[in-house]
Amino acid sequence: MKFFIRYIWLFFLAFQAVAQSNTIWIEPNAGQWSGQAHQRIKIPKGHLYIDNDGFFYSLSNVADLYNHDHEEGESAEDDLFKEHHIKATFLQSDFSDYELVQQSKHYRNYYLGQDRSQWASKVFDYEKVIYHAIYPGIDLELYGLSSSLKYNLFLQPGADPTSVQIQYEGQSNLNLGENGLEIRTLFGSIVEKHPIAFYADNQEKIAVEFKLKGNVLKFVFPEGYDNSRPIVIDPELEFSTFTGATMDNWGNTACPGSDGTLFAGGISFGGGYPVTTGAIQTAWAGGLPGNGPGVDVVISKFSSDGTQLLYSTYLGGSKNEIPHSMITNTNNELFVYGSTCSANFPMDTTTAFQSTIVSSVSAETINGIKFSASDAFVVRLSADGTTLMGSTLFGGSDFDAINLHSASVSNPLVINYGDEYRGEVMIDDQNNIYITGTTRSNDIPLQNAIKNTLSGNSDAFVAKFSPDLSNLLFATYLGGDLEDAGNSIQVSSTGDMYVGGGTNGQTFMSGFASLYQGTPGSDRDGYLAKINGTTFQIEAIRWLGTASYDQIYFVQLDLSENVYVYGQSNGSIQSFGCAYANNGRGQFIAKFSNDLTTPLWTTTFGSPDGIINISPTAFLVSDCGLIYVSGWGGQLNQEHGSSIVDLCTTNNLEVSPGAYQTTTSGSNFYIAVFAPDMSNLSYATFIGGFSSSYNHVDGGTSRFDKDGNIYHAVCAACGGIPDGFTSTPGAYSETNNSSNCNMA
């Protein structure tokens, strides 16, 4: 049997100023931020806004506070949030008449808050903006040049260059020196390089200099000039002494479109238009009102070859949200499941099943992102991203969607870094929407429930919604008397639901013990439950466990609707029923009959020492029966996962002849393809390069399509390492231009 695997691991800067060919994009204000700024440009540490009378630099260290380098017990709360706002006012100028030129092929959509008048769709970027007649006879042109910005002043015959006076406010220091005008900030210097000037009609140079008087900059011509000829004055802005590059963003989830396009979801750190100048330093509050911008969901759609960004969509309210899982239908409409604490999460409140946040419990997750509450959200986006076709919240008075693990809440089922953001969204042929996740609320909405109460610290939940997310068709708890997690859900052709996850204790759905298949192994086991899609009754519960830790992370169905699971174990799972037989390794795959009564085969894979090597990220059983798995492992999981993964590494994993990457740094992604019914390992490779960067995913699901292509979001090249992840020639962006991580 033939198979192929195509890598759709696109290293991109979905929300950066510097993208393909180092283009610096100018983004117009279509209502996505408040204030008088016409445009903004992403620059190192923040944004440059262009408003009614000049430039406004908004800089912060927000991306440095959300990082993966906190020690155990330490959090972003121990850091200080710093902002610096500098205003460069062109005195007595008029920036009202402008022209945007060289439109991008991609566009952005903004669904921020519940006020539809503030939403913006199809906001194209531009390479250049021209401001006409900022002074009589003087135009200003602004555009990017590699990693710097340039603005040119075009003087028509008779125009007076001495009318151009730029007043600076808010900077730490202002100095005219050897390199030009140095504007000192909390984060480094912005240098306005010494200008050059020339006659526009023949490029003949003219002597020109800066003159700084107090905080006002002027242009002077020591040798004079011919006022009857057109003149160009040509300064350049550099950010070369900044400690970082453009804004941090993390990868959480990805999925394919029906036409092979890639949808990637993550979070981005950014804020709106600033209103004050000077340096601001506060205690960081994770995006809660008054203390910084926090994080919003960001979704990008790429062409199938990865060379073009088709659109980017921002999704969120005034507080924090994170995407956990995505999937598309045959029309390329996108369904997103995640967690939010924003009371004004974007939706039509007249049609949403649940339009208000019920949760009122605050916590900070291990990676430093704060939530003042947490409800699940589900949204449906049109194929072009311009229409929010449906949106709802789902939750109760405690934490929902997030499988909470924090300094104050110990969760024995959060094993890997990012496990807080597990859960999955699926759809059926009628576009009904299914989600599973984890809840700590004793009052989530229920419908046709199998289990009506929360009986432990946390339970898994399963919910089914109508296609427009206005009606809840089914919702139930699944769990026992301690902790339970819902990690994965699949839906059969008849609408039956198969839910997999982890359970702590031996009382999972104990009222249905007569339906148990297999027996509990220890205090932490994997479970697999079948729920009838018509009667909403539970039909079978399959245990998968040893005397040690085991957990199911993904569920799949084949064409015959046999059921497969993929997970982790540090016990001694014994292989049976297949030729690729390994015992006691750190990752397992198992196959069961449709009714879960019959185990058909089980095996494990990983390094021979039996340690857990990877955190599972994607799983597929193709129409040909090929079995695809992926995951990541290494240093970050050792440092920020539980003690069970203290030895986690991708060293000593099996690779195949002709693998894309045959050696590993120990902290790479791993992809393997097994022949039908685990007859052999057909292909295996590492992905991610050889640097010391801790490549990983911040929770969430990625997916293979049925042709074996993998669509994967990655939090890559952390620490600003430029070669910290494998990228391909011609990709939308081949480098990491952030001081920390980029989604890849």
Q: How confident is the model at residue 179 (pLDDT cuts 50, 70, 90)?
A: confident
Beta bridge partners of 39: 28, 50
Residue 372 lies in a domain: no
User: What whole-number distance in Å separates Cα of residue 470 and Cα of residue 75?
Assistant: 38
- Residue 689: what pLDDT? 67
- Residue 318: what pLDDT? 85
- Residue 178: what pLDDT? 87
Residue 174 lies in a domain: yes
- φ, ψ for residue 20 (rounded to 5)? -55, 135
Render pLDDT for 121-136 as a digit per residue (tens, 0 to 9): 999 999 999 999 999 9
Residue 177 lies in a domain: yes
Which structural domain, as residue segments, surrounds residue 148? 25-104+127-238
User: What whole-number distance in Å separates Cα of residue 173 and Cα of residue 177?
Assistant: 12
- Residue 12: what pLDDT? 29
Render pLDDT for 320-357 as a digit per residue (tens, 0 to 9): 899 999 999 999 999 999 999 999 999 999 999 999 99
Question: Which of these ranges, 68-72, 114-118, 319-323, has the smallest mean pLDDT?
Answer: 68-72
Cβ atoms 267, 287 nearer than 8 A: no
Q: How confident is the model at residue 275 (pLDDT cuts 50, 70, 90)?
A: low
- Residue 118: what pLDDT? 84
Q: How confident is the model at residue 707 (pLDDT cuts 50, 70, 90)?
A: confident
Render pLDDT for 457-510 as a digit per residue (tens, 0 to 9): 999 999 999 999 999 999 999 999 999 999 999 999 999 999 999 999 899 999
Higher pLDDT pick, 428 / 268: 428
- Residue 11: what pLDDT? 33
User: What whole-number distance in Å separates Cα of residue 92 and Cα of residue 423?
Assistant: 56
Beta bridge partners of 264: 254, 300
User: What whole-number distance in Å separates Cα of residue 168 and Cα of residue 525?
Assistant: 62
pLDDT, average across residues 296-315 = 88
> 535 CB contacts (<8 Å, ≥6 apart)?
none
The residue type of 376 is A
- Residue 731: what pLDDT? 41
**Model confidence at 735: pLDDT above 60:** no
Average pLDDT value over all residues in the chain: 87
**Model confidence at 102: pLDDT above 90:** yes
**Model confidence at 10: pLDDT above 80:** no
Q: How confident is the model at residue 537 (pLDDT cuts 50, 70, 90)?
A: very high
User: What whole-number distance in Å separates Cα of residue 661 and Cα of residue 670?
Assistant: 10
Of the chain, the percentage scoring pLDDT greater than 70 comes to 84
pLDDT, average across residues 84-108 = 95
Residue 86 lies in a domain: yes
- Residue 92: what pLDDT? 97
Residue 78 lies in a domain: yes
Render pLDDT for 542-593 as a digit per residue (tens, 0 to 9): 999 999 999 999 999 999 999 999 999 999 999 999 999 999 999 999 999 9
User: What whole-number distance in Å separates Cα of residue 500 and Cα of residue 692?
Assistant: 34
Residue 220 lies in a domain: yes
Higher pLDDT pick, 179 / 100: 100
Higher pLDDT pick, 76 / 446: 446
Residue 92 lies in a domain: yes
**Model confidence at 13: pLDDT above 90:** no
The residue type of 135 is Y
Higher pLDDT pick, 248 / 624: 624
pLDDT, average across residues 377-403 = 96
CA distances from 492 to 434, 565, 726 (A): 12, 15, 36
How many Å separate Cα 213 from the centre of its chain?
46
Residue 208, token pair as written in the block:
């020109």
Element housing 62 (H / E): helix 62-65
**Model confidence at 716: pLDDT above 70:** no
Q: How confident is the model at residue 32 (pLDDT cuts 50, 70, 90)?
A: confident
- Residue 272: what pLDDT? 67
Residue 67 lies in a domain: yes
pLDDT, average across residues 149-174 = 94
Instruction: Report the domain count for the chain.
Output: 1
Say how many CA atoms lie within 13 Å of 389 toward its Cβ: 17
